[in-house]
Amino acid sequence: MAKKVVIIGAVALGPKVACRLRRLDAEAEITLLDRDDRISYGGCGIPYYVGGDVNDIEDLCKTTSHTLRDAAFFKNNKGVTVMTRTEALAIDRRDRKVLVRHLDTGEEEYLPYDKLVLATGARAVRPPFPGADHPRVLTVSDLHDAERLKSQMAAGKIAKAVVIGAGAIGLEISEALTDLWGISTTLVEMEDQVLPTLLGKCIARLAAAELTRHGVELLLETKVLEVAENEENGKLLVRTSAGNLEVDVVVLAAGVRANTSLAREAGLAIGTYGGISVDRRLRTSDPHIYAGGDCVEVRNLISGENIPMALGSLANRQGRIIATNINGGQSHFRGTVGTFCLKLFDFGIGKAGLTFRQARETGYDPVYAVVSQADHAHFYPSSELIYISLLADRKSRKILGIEAAGKNGDAVKARVDTVAVLLRHGVDVDEICSLEIGYAPPFASAMDVVNNAGNALDNILAGGSRPVDAADFLYEFRHKTVRVLDVRGEKEATPFMAKYGERWLNIPQDQLRRRVEEIDPEEELFLLCDTGPRSYEAQVFLASRGRMKTRNIQGGFAMIRLIAPDFV
Amino acid sequence: MAKKVVIIGAVALGPKVACRLRRLDAEAEITLLDRDDRISYGGCGIPYYVGGDVNDIEDLCKTTSHTLRDAAFFKNNKGVTVMTRTEALAIDRRDRKVLVRHLDTGEEEYLPYDKLVLATGARAVRPPFPGADHPRVLTVSDLHDAERLKSQMAAGKIAKAVVIGAGAIGLEISEALTDLWGISTTLVEMEDQVLPTLLGKCIARLAAAELTRHGVELLLETKVLEVAENEENGKLLVRTSAGNLEVDVVVLAAGVRANTSLAREAGLAIGTYGGISVDRRLRTSDPHIYAGGDCVEVRNLISGENIPMALGSLANRQGRIIATNINGGQSHFRGTVGTFCLKLFDFGIGKAGLTFRQARETGYDPVYAVVSQADHAHFYPSSELIYISLLADRKSRKILGIEAAGKNGDAVKARVDTVAVLLRHGVDVDEICSLEIGYAPPFASAMDVVNNAGNALDNILAGGSRPVDAADFLYEFRHKTVRVLDVRGEKEATPFMAKYGERWLNIPQDQLRRRVEEIDPEEELFLLCDTGPRSYEAQVFLASRGRMKTRNIQGGFAMIRLIAPDFV
């Protein structure tokens, strides 16, 4: 008899399970249901729809060959039954059936299943401040709010906006509002950096600088206390710990939470972080029920913790695995290393693994190196800088994470991805130094930026390089009297000497050997060059001449001029 | 006492060893010598100098901060002694000294060493046809020939050229001659494909099509028999097995051979393929002599063979390792997986691992999948197709290689690199299906092209997908009467039906379920869609309805229209 498979949730994982299962099993009776009328869409495309890169919302619901993935599509192309506007109310695990309500008619019925798949996704968190449920406090985790937001902008009704939450969605939406629509946007974040769960401070500062450069007002360490409507002018008054803002719309991007009420009520195991617990075959605690996507917890392969991870890419991979297993196969989802990327105005940003803070919380002794280097051979005409922060455990030398940013987003992502895919294999610093990625001058350097990130970290671990973050240098330089030794050429150093006088010492690298006696062995010095290698070399040389009190500014001036454009 | 280190060869590996060693050991007496006056240059940049992307030849010899890396640079910046125009004549291993001749004065002297490094590189192979040594038969493996070639072009002396050898250098030079200088260029290759040691037939065909599209005349399976000067008009007459060509210049790009005479004469072990044998610490058979770069053999980690591998990227990584080991460290070069990339006109091409042929010769039972898919989310405005060929061993499912091409070279290289770095870890097909690379619509699809290459290969190995190469389809379609079942929409299929009549059957995917009876279960059919997934799905569906004799055209029409632009 044909197997009955019911899938609850029809956005990303659900349709993937349905289509893959159909290809494996021509006879199975597959039913895909969703509360919404919009199904099978690229949710990660919403910010691009809002920002205008994607014109029509239906473009997010189409196949590569421009066919709308609606119920008829699933029926005719896939042989899959779709029920939209159908809500799953309860799971009867003993009799293996799901009680559903058809929202348009109010009718209820039981759908029997042999295997059930929970693809219930996640929903936007609404923080508990008064006014969080105001109708003009929009979330953009569903298409309907996104449509509302875009139509209001298109109607010219929005001049000012507040975005709450500087996570990925918050950043993407801030760009969307600012870039195409020219809306004066303030981004409010409780933590002291953007992308606090995704990036360490160093690359986060680059992201913050990119927001600022494009006119987004960024309020860090700021809490939203209340949203209220000003009855006189109809504006929204946003009270924050940093003062009040009057705007036309508030976009809430304070994270998402797994939708698990159905699973909970059915008595399925729920994890510590609120997602459905699944094994490596993506089965819940009931062997007839699978779950995947934003509603489950997955193992972080670096920290060992099980956490929810709301990413369309994981949902798709998991969907394929669930279909294989429902069909009697043995396919495993082993976990995630948290690979992530983001476009932010002219920057691509990527990361994988743990941040410095997460690594320390996990019990590692993390050390990181920051490098800046051109993505392509420096003599090749088209090249852009890439900034990489590479994190390892001091003792084991095991790589714990990588973060990167730069203007050539494909090239940034490439460097992150090559390290990301190795993380689960337990890669160490030395392997990154020799990492064998393709080389040709139009696409890389002979010693690529990712190799040099490994080399820089190796030098730090070996004790030869004693680094300081560019931001920490800026803080100390502004608040203390420590001087800079600039080993760049005279021409590069002159404007700095003019501005900072005696605090800015310039000895070009090619003069350092003969002028070393000019440097007091007891003086603390910050060493600076363009991107870092020459200041490191100077540090090593100075140490060999008894001048040990130097710190090498990681990423060099290439980093400083991004995070502190007014420094010179 | 300070350690004496002599390094023979000052292009890529030699300078790397010198500079790294200096940073590790402030006192070592480091001498770097080279027969040439040009040193420390990016040899891989020569085609870009010839083609005009790099203006001045000195740009290839400069640091990222535009300092010329000449003898003075090494003296002042690095504390390294450089002897140019100095040839190493013999190694006295017993007394640890090298006999050198200063070419300008004719003087000879012994340089004593504690450690010696051989960085003697490779030289262009001159095949044994008559005239191979004619002064206008240039190689471009050294800067002097490149300068000659460029100055002749700049002087307008070259209208027609022959390039011999369709390896990487041959392709890059063909582009350089054609693209900027508009020189009518014929590329001659003995084998039946371009890049015969680097690519399988499928991606090689894309490269060949790209050459043809840009006006390079490609003669495959063609041998050069003789080059002779026509005394009447001064032209070079190139006699080939496919006819004669009269040109102004011949560029020889028939591969390189390791320079090992010094090592041989000193009695050091030489490998099967003619390179110096080294261990994982990059020591030769004499523990006081290290060697690296183009003159050594390195282990191919997939085939297990030791082969020379002339790549600037490997030379740099090896240079760092040699310096570490000379300084008493324990750093290993474990081998190569043959990662490679190339820009060819508007295409980026990359590969890692073995080709199909190499895999079979190694004793594997290789199977490959070909996919074509957009690099970015299909709904995102900027995206380009990437073509991937993924190779695995049938029984073990171990990945043996990946090849890719596409217009966004950074994105092509990214996909190749993520698989490349895993090859030494013994990655299988299933890991590629779930490979966790970053996803955001501006940079990838939720199910990325590299994941789908894994999925397609998994489907082939599982027996559900029975593929045919686009080129094999074209051959059979032209020579036999097999018909095509086109499952694209009517609009896409119409021009093909007009041209091929009854041989072109169109049943759009959404009609296939109800029209399946139109298909004779006994008929052989080629299945076609845009890029492959729908034709695969059709194949699975047809098989479930007893129609087993179908073959799915890999990469779909996206592949056909590149390799056979005249097909419609």
A91-144 residue pLDDT tens: 999 999 999 999 999 999 999 999 999 999 999 999 999 999 999 999 987 789
CATH number of B340-461: 3.50.50.60
Whether the CB-CB separation of A315 and A373 falls below 8 Å is answered with no
Whether the CB-CB separation of B290 and B278 falls below 8 Å is answered with yes
Q: How far apart are CA A278 and CA B499, in angstroms?
A: 54
| A12 contact residues in B (CB cutoff 8 A) | 446
Using the Cβ of A46 and the Cβ atoms of chain B, whether some distance falls under 8 Å is answered with no
Please, what's the b/e burial string for B341-363 (b: 16 or more CB within 10 A of its CB; e: otherwise)?
Answer: bbbbbebbbbbbbbbbebbeebe
| A513 contact residues in B (CB cutoff 8 A) | 76, 79
Q: How far apart are CA B543 and CA B546, in angstroms?
A: 5
Q: Nearest CB to B333: which of A19, A434, A438?
A: A434
Cβ-based burial of B107 (10 A; exposed 0-12, middle 13-18, buried ≥19): exposed
The count of other CB atoms within 10 Å of the CB of residue B519 is 19
The count of other CB atoms within 10 Å of the CB of residue B150 is 20
Long-range contacts of A299-302 (CB under 8 A, 24+ apart): A299/A334, A299/A335, A299/A336, A300/A335, A300/A336, A300/A337, A300/A338, A300/A354, A301/A334, A301/A335, A301/A336, A301/A337, A301/A423, A301/A424, A302/A337, A302/A338, A302/A353, A302/A354, A302/A362, A302/A400, A302/A401, A302/A423
**In B241-276, which ranges are E strands?**
243-247, 249-252, 256-258
Q: Smallest CA–CA separation between B223 and chain A, in Å?
A: 28
Q: How far apart are CA A258 and CA A260, in angstroms?
A: 6
- Please give the biggest Cα pair distance in chain A: 89
CATH entry, A467-563, from 3.40.50.720, 3.40.250.10, 3.30.9.10, 3.60.150.10: 3.40.250.10
Q: At how many degrees (to 10) do helices B409-423 and B449-461 cross? A: 50
Q: Who contacts B462 (Cβ-Cβ below 8 Å, separation ≥6)?
A: none
Whether the CB-CB separation of B12 and B312 falls below 8 Å is answered with yes
User: Residue B74: which of B113, B22, B131, B26 has the closest Cα?
Assistant: B22
Q: Nearest CB to B348: which of A315, A435, A443?
A: A443
Torsion, Cα A157 A162 A168 A171, to 10 degrees, reads: 70
Residue at token pair 């050539």 = A408
Whether the CB-CB separation of B226 and B244 falls below 8 Å is answered with no
Whether the CB-CB separation of B97 and B113 falls below 8 Å is answered with yes
User: Residue B152: which of B53, B58, B251, B229 has the closest Cα?
Assistant: B251
A312-369 residue pLDDT tens: 999 999 999 999 999 999 999 999 999 999 999 999 999 999 999 999 999 999 999 9
Cβ-based burial of A325 (10 A; exposed 0-12, middle 13-18, buried ≥19): buried
Residue at token pair 């002749």 = B152
How many beta-carbon pairs below 8 A join chains A and B? 286
| B63 contact residues in A (CB cutoff 8 A) | 378
Residue of A nearest to B337 (CA): A436
Using the Cβ of B506 and the Cβ atoms of chain A, whether some distance falls under 8 Å is answered with no
pLDDT of residue A142: 76
Domains A137-254 and A340-458 share a fold: yes
Q: Smallest CA–CA separation between A70 and chain B, in Å?
A: 12
Helical spans, DSSP H, in A233-285:
261-265
Q: How far apart are CA A461 and CA B65, in angstroms?
A: 26
Q: Nearest CB to B64: which of A65, A531, A537?
A: A531
Per-residue pLDDT of chain A (568 residues; tens, 9 = 90+): 899 999 999 999 999 999 999 999 999 999 999 999 999 999 899 999 999 999 999 999 999 888 999 999 999 999 999 999 999 999 999 999 999 999 999 999 999 999 999 999 999 999 999 999 999 999 987 789 999 999 999 999 999 999 999 999 999 999 999 998 999 999 999 999 999 999 999 999 999 999 999 999 999 999 999 999 999 999 999 999 999 999 999 999 999 999 999 999 999 999 999 999 999 999 999 999 999 999 999 999 999 999 999 999 999 999 999 999 999 999 999 999 999 999 999 999 999 999 999 999 999 999 999 999 999 999 998 899 999 999 999 999 999 999 999 999 999 999 999 999 999 999 999 999 999 999 999 999 999 999 999 999 999 999 999 999 999 999 999 999 999 999 999 999 999 999 999 999 999 999 999 999 999 999 999 999 999 999 999 999 999 999 999 999 999 999 999 999 999 8
A446 and B422 within 8 Å at the Cβ level: the answer is no
CATH entry, A340-458, from 3.50.50.60, 2.40.50.140, 3.40.605.10, 3.40.50.12780: 3.50.50.60
SS3 of B134-164? CCCEEECCCHHHHHHHHHHHHCCCCCEEEEE
Q: How far apart are CA A455 and CA A458, in angstroms?
A: 5
Helical spans, DSSP H, in A103-167:
143-154
pLDDT of residue B272: 95
Tell which of B30, B64, B73 to mutate to test the A interface (max A CBs under 10 Å).
Answer: B64
Per-residue pLDDT of chain B (568 residues; tens, 9 = 90+): 899 999 999 999 999 999 999 999 999 999 999 999 999 998 899 999 999 999 999 999 999 888 999 999 999 999 999 999 999 999 999 999 999 999 999 999 999 999 999 999 999 999 999 999 999 999 987 789 999 999 999 999 999 999 999 999 999 999 999 998 999 999 999 999 999 999 999 999 999 999 999 999 999 999 999 999 999 999 999 999 999 999 999 999 999 999 999 999 999 999 999 999 999 999 999 999 999 999 999 999 999 999 999 999 999 999 999 999 999 999 999 999 999 999 999 999 999 999 999 999 999 999 999 999 999 999 998 899 999 999 999 999 999 999 999 999 999 999 999 999 999 999 999 999 999 999 999 999 999 999 999 999 999 999 999 999 999 999 999 999 999 999 999 999 999 999 999 999 999 999 999 999 999 999 999 999 999 999 999 999 999 999 999 999 999 999 999 999 999 8
CATH topology of domain A137-254: FAD/NAD(P)-binding domain (3.50.50)
Residue of B nearest to A321 (CA): B434
User: Distances from the Cα of B371 to the Cαs of A199, B47, B391, B402, in angstroms?
Assistant: 34, 31, 12, 11
Sequence ranges of the domains in chain B: 4-121+257-326, 137-254, 340-461, 467-563
This model of the complex carries an ipTM of 0.96
Tell which of A143, A413, A531 to mutate to test the B interface (max B CBs under 10 Å).
Answer: A413
Within the 422-451 window of chain A, which residues sit less than 8 Å (CB to CB) from chain B?
Answer: 422, 425, 430, 433-444, 446-448, 451
DSSP per residue, A211-227: HHHTT-EEE-S--EEEE
Using the Cβ of B333 and the Cβ atoms of chain A, whether some distance falls under 8 Å is answered with yes
DSSP per residue, A343-356: EETTEEEEEEE--H
Q: How far apart are CA A326 and CA A113, in angstroms?
A: 12
pLDDT of residue B140: 85
Sign of CA dihedral A140, A145, A149, A150: positive
Q: At how many degrees (to 10) do helices A556-563 and A201-213 cross? A: 50
Residue at token pair 């349905």 = A18
A498, containing H or E segment: helix A490-500
The CA angle A16-A17-A23, to the nearest 5 degrees, is 90
CATH entry, A4-122+257-326, from 3.50.50.60, 1.10.3720.10, 3.40.50.1240, 3.40.718.10: 3.50.50.60
Looking at domain B4-121+257-326, its CATH superfamily turns out to be: FAD/NAD(P)-binding domain (3.50.50.60)
